[in-house]
Structure 1
Amino acid sequence: MHTVVRVAGPDLILRPSPVAMVWYEPGRPHEALAAPGVHLSAGEALVEVELATVCGSDVHTVRGDRPAPAPLVLGHEQVGRVVAVGEGAVRADGSLLELGDRVVWSVAVSCGECDRCRRGLSQKCRSLAKYGHERVHRGWELSGGFATHVQLKAGTAVVRVSEELPALVAAPSSCATATAVAALDAAAAHVPLAGAPLLVTGGGMIGLSVAAIAREAGAEVVVSDPDASRRVLARRFGVRAVDPAATPGDGEHLDTVLADLAANGRPELLVAIEASGAAPAVRTAIAALGVGGVAVLVGSVSPGTEVRLDPETVVRRLVTVTGVHNYTPGQLVRAVAFLERSWRSTPLDELVGTTHSLDEIDLALAEAATGEHVRVGVAPGRRPHH
């Protein structure tokens, strides 16, 4: 536990000092940065991190697959407890944030006033800042989840979570679960989910979260993933699973499963959520749709292979193709609500396969890069292995 000592007004000193793990460039180990003093402005708060999880975008950054400002404190999926509150700090529902609140928070910090915020696109705010994505600078050293503490800025959507919700389930809500809600909202704007055949390409954290939420909404869900263990996980969520490498006629081939759905009164695939970022999966998601279907692209967040598109087939099938990146505060609220009511009945806690100490952040990232686990955890209070 850390002791918070208020020096003067909003100036805090913590003992022991908070530590953030700083990334500089691909191939270079993280370095610890101590931040003994924190200045909390109006609307801000300081949270002690209970658990963070490694998102795929963290892996892409450390591998050099995508540009990122450095030095950088990575991490944007986490759960923690409020240990200091600035004047006027509020939760996403407008109520006052309180000491001791166990919380998750949005990846985006938004102004709430620009044209994009007013249009409901706060995740693309004109003055956007993002946890785990900003260059470390004086005054905001604690800017990412791979740290003992995170300084929450005014304009962050903060959502309280119950003491019963496992940290392994709560932490990914700040990215994967809320993004899954956003993806399904984008689909539901065109096709009612209840009873609709729905394909998810990619059985990672977002894909499996989409599957779980869509199943609760009444969709007929099919998850496509080349990894047999991911297909096993998908089935444990109560949905069908297919192998994109299966041959026609095989029971795990998409056409076979779609034919079975058609035989049971579901004649066309109407929703496809692409959560892998793989070009073949993007092509499958668009090509498999029936008349009036919608493809929501979520996984393509790093530069990759371009996908050829036949516009005639899109036009003739009345297909909608849309993209989703991050989410709104309300979608984070709904993501937490889903987790609170469903974690006991679904294997959500098993998606974080292993957890490392903060000192082992490079090991955690390397393990996450193997794809063996859907998520890898980082717990600041955990002792490192020796």
Structure 2
Amino acid sequence: MPDVPTVTAPGAVGTPVRIDLDPPAVAMVWLGADRPHEVVAVPRVALAPGEALVAIELATICGSDVHTTAGRRRAPVPLVLGHEYVGRIVATGGDVRAIDGSLLFHGDRVVWSIMAGCGTCDRCRRGIPQKCRALVKYGHERLEPRWELTGGFASHVHLRRGTAMLRVSESVPAEVLAPASCGTATAWAAVERADDTTDIDDAVVLVLGAGLIGLTAAAIAADRGARVIVADPDARRRDLALRFGAAAAVDPLDPSAREAALADLGRAEIDVVIEASGSAAAVASAIDAVGVGGIVVLVGSVFPGGSLTVDPERLVRNLVTISGVHNYTPHDLHAAVRFLHARHTRYPFDELVGARMPLADVDAALELARSGDSVRVGLVP
């Protein structure tokens, strides 16, 4: 259990609660491509009503963190990266509630959303809070005075009001839970979008890319009764996909492999394609692969990857749906965490974090993440 911080000035109802931290919280601050992270100490945090301070147990490095530090994604600096995490509440600014409406307390082990929304704007009311007009995203916001603990590459995170939070079991490994806040919940959202259009049960689902999102989407779809084919050029990832529920794992560079996998399944066409790699070539392949009445869910294209040509007549005549999924809703996070609680021993989610490194070694950890040797690299404060 982390040390209990000192509340130095509770203040009147509705005013911030000032928290003294001894030792101070620590954040690793990114200043731009080809520059090492710098350490920032944060000795005091002011929590507004509905906010929380969480001590991080484990953070994992997402692919978007790698793209950002490599200069492939725009990001404001200085910046505390990291948006996949699990931790423990050490202080709150008044009442803080979980997604299910229950009160959260000091000591609760939690995961939380990548974002905080207002809950009242037109987009929030339409059910797309991940596109809130006043959106705040952890690991993506410029470090500012009085809100320095903005991302997961730190000892603590200062959570804003409007952040979806969820109490999690003490028995589920941190390696399973940390990616829930990005990869797992996004995979759940992608499968849900497909299931809204085409019944996943007994459908043939092609997943392009065997990263964390692709592997998790394969497991979720297989758990719903789908026959899953995973395509990835890395033989190690293909072997891993078979352990995540895939009926077949093929090399996308082998044009005959997918047809052979379909024939082995006794099926003529693909009902659902989930594109999780972000490659423009893979997006084009996804659209070409889907059968009549099928759906293509694009989830990997979160950085500039080039444009492509689409034949609209084929889409129209074949009744094809193309849908983009970016991030997720609180419902998706809640459902994804329930799935992890129920299935983390059936699928080897804990093995996806191939290395755990000290927070101070964040630059070396990012280099390891870039190598692709591990699906995820963990950071331990």
TM normalised by structure 2 equals: 0.97
Deviations 1:182-230 (A, max 9, x none): 1011101110000000000000000000001111111100100000110
Letter in 1 for 2:37: H
1:90 equivalent to 2:97? Answer yes
Q: What is the Cα deviation at residue 290 of structure 1?
A: 0.9
Q: CA deviation at 1:88?
A: 2.0
Give the aligned partner of residue 246 of structure 1.
254
Q: CA deviation at 1:260?
A: 2.2
Q: % of aligned pairs identical?
A: 56
User: Quick check: 2:51–2:161 contact (8 Å CA) kept in 1?
Assistant: yes
CA separation in 2, counterparts of 1:363 and 1:308? 39
One-letter amino acid of the structure 2 residue matched with residue 145 of structure 1: G
Q: Name which of 165, 177, 184 aligns with 1:177.
A: 184
Tell me what 1:114 maps to: 121
Cα RMSD between the aligned structures?
0.8
Partner in structure 1 of residue 292 of structure 2: 291
Query: Which has the higher mean CA deviation after the structures are superposed, 341-350 or 161-170?
Result: 341-350
C-alpha separation between the residues in 1 aligned to 2:60 and 2:376? 6
Contact 1:21 1:30 in 2 (8 A): yes
* Residue in structure 2 matched with residue 73 of structure 1 by the alignment: 80
On the 8 A contact 2:216/2:244 being kept in 1, the answer is no
Paired amino acid for 2:187: A
Structure 2 residue corresponding to 1:215, chosen from 222, 238, 250 = 222
Question: 1:38-49 residue pairs with structure 2 within 5 A?
Answer: 38-49=45-56
- 1:105 aligns with 112
Residue pair 1:353, 1:376 contacting (<8 A) in 2 also:
yes
Deviation at 1:3, TM superposition (A): 3.9
Q: Is the 8 A contact 1:45 1:153 kept in 2?
A: yes
Deviation at 1:77, TM superposition (A): 0.1
Deviation at residue 247 of structure 1 after TM alignment: 4.7
TM-superposed deviation, 1:96: 1.1
Select 2:21's aligned residue among 14, 21, 24: 14
Instruction: Answer whether contact 1:2 1:16 (CA < 8 A) is retained.
Output: no
Per the alignment, residue 340 of structure 1 pairs with 341
Alignment of 1:257 onto 2:255: no
CA distance in 1, matches of 2:96, 2:160: 9
* Equivalent residue, structure 1, for 2:358: 357
Query: 1:3 touches 1:15 (CA, 8 Å); kept in 2?
Result: no
Q: 1:371 aligns to what? A: 372
Could you tell me whether the CA contact under 8 Å between 2:58 and 2:178 is conserved in 1? yes
Contiguous gaps of at least 5 residues in structure 1: 381-386
Matched, 1:157 2:164: yes
1:383 maps to none
SS state of the match for residue 93, structure 1?
A: coil
The number of residue pairs the alignment matches comes to 373
State which of 50, 53, 63 in structure 2 corresponds to 1:56. Answer: 63
The answer to whether the 8 Å contact 2:27/2:80 transfers is yes
* 3-state secondary structure, aligned to 2:192: helix
1:256, CA displacement in angstroms? 1.1
- TM-score where L is the length of structure 1: 0.95
- 1:64-88, Cα deviation, whole Å (9 max, x unpaired): 0011000000000000000001112
CA distance in 1, matches of 2:270, 2:346: 27
Paired with 1:152 and 1:126, the residues of 2 have a C-alpha distance of 18
Name the CA distance, whole Å, in 1 between partners of 2:130 and 2:196.
19
Which secondary structure state, in structure 2, belongs to the residue aligned with residue 17 of structure 1?
strand
Q: Is the 8 A contact 1:19 1:33 kept in 2?
A: yes
Q: In structure 2, what is the Cα distance between the partners aligned to 1:3 and 1:84?
A: 8
Q: CA contact under 8 A between 2:83 and 2:151: conserved in structure 1?
A: yes
TM-superposed CA distance for 1:268, in Å, is 2.2
Deviations 1:285-337 (A, max 9, x none): 11111110000000000011212111111111100001000000010000000
Residue 120 of structure 1 aligns with an amino acid whose one-letter code is G
Letter in 1 for 2:279: A
Give deviations 1:344-384, integer Å, cap 9, x for gaps: 1111100011011000000111110111110000010xxxx
SS in 2 for 1:14: strand
For the 8 Å contact 1:3–1:16, the answer to whether it is kept is no
